[in-house]
Structure formats: C-alpha cells, structure tokens
Copies of this chain bind each other. A is one copy, B any other.
Amino acid sequence: MPATVQSIERAAAILRLLGGGSRHLPLGEIAHSLDLAKGTTHGILRTLQHVGFVEQDRVSGHYQLGAGLVRPGAGYLDPNELRSHAINWADPLAARTGEAVRVGTVLDGRVLVVHHVFRPDDTFQTLDVGTLLPIHATALGKVLLAYRSAGVAPPADLDRFTRRTVRTPHGLAAEVVRVRDAGWGYEVEEMTPGNASVAAPIRGPGGLVVGAVGTSGLVERICDRRYHPHPHLVALVRETARAISRELGDGRH
C-alpha cells in the first residue's frame, strides 16, 4: 500500500476523534491527542470547517462534528450561498453580453434556477427564479449533468419540447462527453424555438461542481451562421463561472 496522503489521514483521525466521544473538543486537546502542532491542526480544522464536516462553537471556540457529514441529500453548498456569491458576477455578465443570465443548481434531477438577471432591454420578461428546468434540454442542465454535481437522477423521462430536443439517452451521453471535454455546454432550440443558451460549471471547494451559470437569448444573437455560439460569448460565460468558483473556494483558478 505505497504512499497514502497523510494530510487526509490526519483529517480522518480528527473526525474520528470528534465522533468518538466528547464530540466537543478544544483545538489544543485535538493537537495533543494526535501529536500534531497546533498550527497544523488548526489548518486541517479550518479546512474541515470550510467543507462543513466540523463546526465551531462560537462562544467556546471548541470544535465538533458538523451537519455536512451525513448527506441530507443536498450538496454542502446550499442554494442561498450559491446565489449570494453569484449575484455579483451575474449582473456584469448580463451587461457585457446584452443577454439574460441564469444561475442554477441541481434539485431532484432537474435544474433549479436560483438567480435570474433580465436581458438589459425593455422587453417584457418573466422572472423565473425558483423555476425547475429540464436537465436535458438546457445548457445549464447539460453542464450540471456532465459533472454530476449532486442529485444526479439519471434522466428517465426525456420530454420532447421542440424538433431539436435530444431524444435518446445515447445522444444525451454524447452531449455529456462533449461538455466534459470542452468545459462548457450549449443548446440551440432544444427547449424553446428561436432560443439558444450557453453555460459553464461553477465549482466549489475541492473542485466539486455545485452549480452552473449561463446566458440565453435569441438564436441569431447567441450563435453564428453555423449555429455555434460566438466564441467571445463562451469566453465571457466561462470567465464568469471561474470568478464565482474562485469566490466559492475553488483554489485552482
């Protein structure tokens, strides 16, 4: 069994320690029990806290197991937090692209819209925050499906909305690998005739995909003549996704 990641072993040991007894220990005690330096222990605990595995008592400062260990269905990022972080970046994206922007996450096999910025013109539009979108016919959904963020209900019923809606599970699987290879996804008239959309994944701590952000609008404005999204539009969407990811704690970008 050559080479294990000792940082993770230590984290696991801390979790075990917290789970196996007092479930309410001061940092010094943990460090001493595991024969680690206080600073080291603090770093590990900070990380565990960040991902929701441990919580810290505000008054005593002691550490205890967090709610995130057993999974109550949802990912460790609740929709509210996703929304509050995405909100600062969605507006600029809408302004620069001139299109509507939506932020979504997976809920029960569908796409829950957690934020929506109107297209910056005067036309009448309906706010669809809270709406559940199909996962196989939207750019947001394809992206979320590709990275298996959370709920991952394998789509059983592929409702057909337009002539272009992906019908077969096989075709959907092909789409998924496309998204994965490219790092972003799109859709043209698969949900609504005359409409197209582009989306990119939002990553949380550790690189886990926790949501997606994208624009949607009239086909002739989103795509070029060959029905491919404009490259600069794709770039803008991806940059926005990376910015939000950075804010959510994804280190790499």
Contacts and interface: CB of A to CB of B under 8 A. Distances in A.
Given A43-B5, A73-B20, A13 B50 contact: no
Contact of A16 (B8, B14, B36, B71): B71
Stoichiometry, as copies per complex, reads 2
A3 interface: yes
Contact of A21 (B13, B43, B70, B150): B150
Interface in A1-57: 1, 3-14, 16-17, 19-22, 25, 29, 32-36, 43-44, 46-48, 50-53
A20 B77 CA distance: 12
A151 interface: yes
A182 to B, nearest CB: 13
Given A12-B51, A51-B12, A148-B21, A4 B209 contact: no
Contact of A51 (B9, B29, B53, B73): B9
A163 to B, nearest CB: 31
Interface of A: 1, 3-14, 16-17, 19-22, 25, 29, 32-36, 43-44, 46-48, 50-53, 69-71, 73-76, 147-154, 180, 203-209, 249, 251-252
Contacts of A205: 4, 9, 12-13
A208 B147 contact: no
B32 A180 contact: yes
A4 B50 CA distance: 8
Contact of A47 (B4, B34, B249): B4
A204 B1 contact: no
A75 B13 CA distance: 9
Contacts of A1: 46, 50, 249
Contacts of A34: 206-208
